């Protein structure tokens, strides 16, 4: 028991941090914090000297991004098990694409050009378009075919949506080609 009590259990520390990280999830605001992988320890008979949590966060507003990032930093800097210390690495791969006035005005213009209602939605996912949008550029995404089962083995696209999407984009591109 003497050796056990002298150990500094990184896995135990990580378990406390995991619980605090998951509490940052706010489904009403479409914010998720998911610890998708935990790696720690070297054997059942050894106090774990090291543990790593791999997490992903998703958010739909800059306010939520700031709340979650600040909270993660606080969780990382707090020791729940005496003698442990933690570091944070990584970063945001793609920032949030928030709806804004310029984007909505551009969608309205496209609706007039195409004589089609263009529906918007928050999907909770990210694409390369998020990178451009975070630089303040009017950015639209999702003009390709639609279907269901996103990012699963059952992902599929509705065949009829190819034709309607091609027609929509053709109208838009023709308008800007002839009106520049």
Please tell me which residue, 12 or 121, carries the higher pLDDT value.
Answer: 12
* Whole-angstrom distance, CA of residue 78 vs CA of residue 22: 16
117: its two tokens: 């209602």
Confidence band of 96 (pLDDT split at 50, 70, 90): confident
> Could you tell me whether strands 156-157 and 147-148 are parallel, antiparallel, or unpaired per DSSP bridges?
antiparallel
Q: Which residues have a Cβ under 8 Å from the Cβ of 24 and sit 6 or more positions away?
A: 31, 33, 57, 67, 68, 71, 72
* Whole-angstrom distance, CA of residue 128 vs CA of residue 147: 20
* Cβ atoms of 55 and 20 closer than 8 Å: no
In this model, does residue 171 exceed pLDDT 70?
yes
CA distances from 5 to 12, 78, 125 (A): 13, 21, 45
Consecutive H or E run containing 157: strand 156-157
pLDDT digits (tens, 9 = 90+) for 139-162: 888 888 988 887 789 999 999 999
CB-count exposure of residue 61 (10 Å: 0-12, 13-18, 19+): middle
* Domains located in the chain, CATH noted: 2-77 (3.30.70.360), 101-178 (1.10.150.900)
pLDDT digits (tens, 9 = 90+) for 82-91: 999 999 999 8
In this model, does residue 13 exceed pLDDT 80?
yes
- In the three-class reduction of DSSP (H, G, I as helix; E, B as strand; rest coil), residue 91 is classed as coil
* Whole-angstrom distance, CA of residue 31 vs CA of residue 68: 9
Q: What is the pLDDT of residue 2?
A: 57
Region 83-106: mean pLDDT is: 90
The pTM of the whole model exceeds 0.85? no
CA angle 142, 143, 146 (to 5 degrees): 75
* Cβ atoms of 71 and 57 closer than 8 Å: no
């Amino acid at each position: 028991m003497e050796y056990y009590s002298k150990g500094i259990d990184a896995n135990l520390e990580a378990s406390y941090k995991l619980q605090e990280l998951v509490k940052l999830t706010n489904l009403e605001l479409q914010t998720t914090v998911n610890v998708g992988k935990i790696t720690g320890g070297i054997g059942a008979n050894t106090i774990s000297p090291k543990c790593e949590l791999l997490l992903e966060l998703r958010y739909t507003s800059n306010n939520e991004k700031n709340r979650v990032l600040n909270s993660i930093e606080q969780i990382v800097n707090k020791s729940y098990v005496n003698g442990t210390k933690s570091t944070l690495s990584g970063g945001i791969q793609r920032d949030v694409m928030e709806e804004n006035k310029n984007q909505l005005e551009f969608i309205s213009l496209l609706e007039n050009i195409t004589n089609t209602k263009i529906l918007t939605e928050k999907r909770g996912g990210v694409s390369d378009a998020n990178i451009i949008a975070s630089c303040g550029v009017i950015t639209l995404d999702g003009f390709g075919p639609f279907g269901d089962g996103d990012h699963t083995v059952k992902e599929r696209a509705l065949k009829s949506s190819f034709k309607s999407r091609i027609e929509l984009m053709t109208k838009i591109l023709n308008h800007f080609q002839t009106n520049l």
